[in-house]
Chain A
């Protein structure tokens, strides 16, 4: 890193040395992505209701008289709607803030459920091998030949659109990677001495898997989950955009981008699509950078995943 040369003696003497050292330590952490995540995803996601109750219009309140107000710095914009309003008078800023919460919940629940199922299947496939392994790996192949959007189409046509459908679709997309990764790790681990000793000591298969093998793959799982948050947010936004994700009028970023499409083609209301898209872009970019950093820290062998 070029920064290492910058930190010690070459620092100008008039700057406090302690500050330089603190800065040097801080630079080793992904500060910019973390800051963006805190301000674009975490704070809005957690305090959405409080923020909009205090400053902004309710995300589900449409004021038709104030429809298509441009952002505040444009002619005709007001501080009441800092990022403008859409064609039914929804406040864009308020909906972006609440959209962060939707993205957080969807990402959290789907990664949790997909990760649980995938990890369990990966442990079983790797530990028992044989038929279990064959069947589970064939399932993985089958899953891989159905793309996420097509899966969403089938499930929406079967279950109807809704929050739970999105989470199931994304969980079904995600479990495969956990299963493959955990299986690979378990295959390498299960021939080691500690597993043999646990067996000799009379541990059950379940105990070996949960107490001896699982703790050894936790680091990998944390890294994979972090790397996936960004992708899940993108996927959810894409599905919502197509109308097979979060149903209207829930404030979801993908839906908001979709709402602006026809207006933009008609030459009006660019802000309706632009800002939610930027929110997605910044969140996903920061999440990916954070995931990369965490991977280099905890589990560099995941480079190629």
Chain B
């Protein structure tokens, strides 16, 4: 187990290193940041001063070392759109909102996907199963930003049940603002989650110990609740591991649709006003979070299912 954690951690560090190198290379390859920032009437002197200020006059490997050092110390650079604020500050300010949205959305998603998938599996080839399949097919084809807008149209505007945008203040209002975005984001991986839990449940139903239980005459209800469900408990974790990337992408889209002030919306606002420092910082932060979370998921998974450690 320790060996597995060390190897897996080592891989994560290499990946992080490569991502930072990639983003650094891309931003430096895109041409001279100083010429983008300076107005046209700037003199050569202004130019050199700015280069010196940003450290652009140093050799590339030194620049990269400074860049990595800055990331590690949490110094992600200054924002242009929001003067006087650093990118790190802005992201930290918005991170709790995104975290809350993602956690609630994932919970909604699991609470829907698991029972629906299990129902599909237990009543295989019934109308439930067919309905589940049709639902999954539709779910994979529907553009989620469009679904979110249609939800605003029907639920928020026509029926006036929810606010159309923003995050609200206080607990009650905040929760009220959170419901629609959470459902929209939760719907993202719902189809995939249903298929996953359906196939996991089918595997368990087909196993030797379930057959034995049936031969012994254990009632079907008891087989499903006691023998199967416990063994399908790994599904949410697998699901989370698979869905986490989707949740990040989804949070950017959902926050944009609902004007929900999280990190995703920050990135979109920043790119609209060409505040590239903030955009790239958001990407770095998301990439780091992703690598870290998948490391955790892998370790947790190896802990729960010892077969994985061996391979």
Contacts and interface: CB of A to CB of B under 8 A. Distances in A.
Nearest to A269: B153
A70 interface: no
Interface string B276-298: 10011011001100110010000
B156 interface: yes
Nearest to B290: A145
Contacts of B138: 281, 285
B26 A158 contact: yes
A264 B253 contact: no
Contacts of B256: 241-242
B283 A154 contact: yes
Interface stretch (A88-96, A176-184, A189-197, A270-278): A270-278
B11 A265 contact: no
A150 B30 contact: no
A270 B146 CA distance: 11
Contacts of B272: 243
Interface stretch (B13-21, B47-55, B115-123, B227-235): B13-21
Given A142-B15, A257-B145, A265-B157, A158 B291 contact: no
Contact of B280 (A154, A234, A260, A264): A154
Nearest to B246: A147
Contacts of A242: 145, 252-253, 256, 268
Interface of A: 138, 141-142, 144-150, 153-159, 230, 234, 237-238, 241-244, 254, 257-258, 260-261, 264-265, 267, 270, 273-274, 276-277, 280-281, 284-285, 288-289
A224 to B, nearest CB: 16
B310 to A, nearest CB: 20
Contacts of A144: 245
A138 B149 contact: no
Given A145-B19, A243-B272, A265-B164, A138 B14 contact: yes
Given A242-B256, A243-B271, A145 B291 contact: yes
Nearest to A139: B18
B27 interface: yes
18 contacts: A138-B18, A145-B15, A145-B290, A147-B245, A147-B248, A153-B271, A158-B27, A241-B143, A242-B256, A257-B146, A261-B152, A261-B257, A265-B165, A270-B153, A273-B150, A280-B146, A281-B141, A281-B142
Nearest to B165: A265
Contacts of B207: none
A270 B157 CA distance: 11
Contacts of A257: 143, 145-146, 149
Contact of A157 (B15, B140, B152, B280): B280
Given A157-B271, A270-B153, A149 B253 contact: yes
Contact of B15 (A141, A261, A285): A141
Contacts of B268: 242-244
A242 B264 CA distance: 10
Contacts of A254: 143, 145
A258 to B, nearest CB: 8
A267 B157 contact: yes
Contact of B22 (A142, A238, A243): A142
A254 B152 CA distance: 17
A148 B257 contact: no
A264 B152 contact: yes
B146 A150 contact: no
B187 interface: no
Nearest to A244: B271
Contacts of A155: 26
